[in-house]
Amino acid sequence: MRPTIIAIFTAVLLTATNALAIDIYVNGTKANGIKNADLANCTVKFDALGNLHIITPGYRVVMDKKGKPMRIAGSSDLGAAKTVGAKPKMRYVLLYRPNPKVAFTFQIYINGAKFRTIDLSTGAFTIDLTNKLRSGANQLRVIGKPSGKGPATGTEADVVKLRILAGHERADGAFVAKHPPVWELVRAAIDRNAIDRSSTIRVQ
């Protein structure tokens, strides 16, 4: 499907949201009600509920002060990828380090698809992301919400961390990470505001 056809298809679907009673997401962010959007180099898919997901690296949904989708900003950077859709040459892992004093839950989306939910019962983990990524630009979205009341003993020094590290696998199977992380999210015990953060991760 050529970019011009995708753009027309996208514009029609964006204006027909109410009639179809579906939700539309651009790189994991709800975009219902947006009009006159012309997006190039898109991957378009429907989920099991009939909602439409448009994956197009480089674009983001701009919200108004009330959190309502207002317009699409940015431009396609898919062409910057050396080989679109190619498998990464390096390995990428997601590290999670919880802190019992930081009451926060997270939902993680990779290229518009939900990858993992982290709640207060989730322990520390390191999980391979490589098979979920492609060479070039990838979209990462993290929705974080405070859970319950923050402990009275929690301070800004008490943090929970999410990191993505790139590296190589040795002959013995051990993962050797490069530093600094290619992406990092830190929340402290005193942080009580919800977040909805989208980032572009460039994969080699």
Share of the chain above pLDDT 90, in %: 34
Task: Quote the tokens at residue 22.
Answer: 């579906």
Residue whose entry in the numeric block shows the structure tokens 């830190």: 186
Supply the pLDDT for residue 7: 54
| pLDDT greater than 50 at residue 82 | no
Q: What phi and psi values does residue 90 have, to the nearest 5 degrees?
A: -100, 165
pLDDT number for residue 17? 47
Tokens of 50: 């009939």
Residue-level pLDDT at 83: 43
Q: Exposure of 97 by Cβ count < 10 A (0-12 exposed, 13-18 middle, 19+ buried)?
A: middle
Cα gap 38→23, rounded to integer Å: 18
Give the pLDDT band (50/70/90) at residue 32: confident
When pLDDT is averaged across residues 149-170 and rounded to a whole number, the result is 86
Strands (E), the chain: 24-26, 29-30, 43-46, 52-55, 59-63, 69-74, 91-97, 104-110, 113-118, 125-128, 136-146, 159-169, 175-177, 183-188, 195-203
pLDDT at site 204: 82
The pLDDT of 182-200, averaged and rounded, is: 92
pLDDT band at 11 (very low <50, low <70, confident <90, very high): low
The overall average pLDDT reported for the chain is 82
| Contact status, residue 136 vs residue 203, Cβ threshold 8 Å | yes
pLDDT for res 171: 80
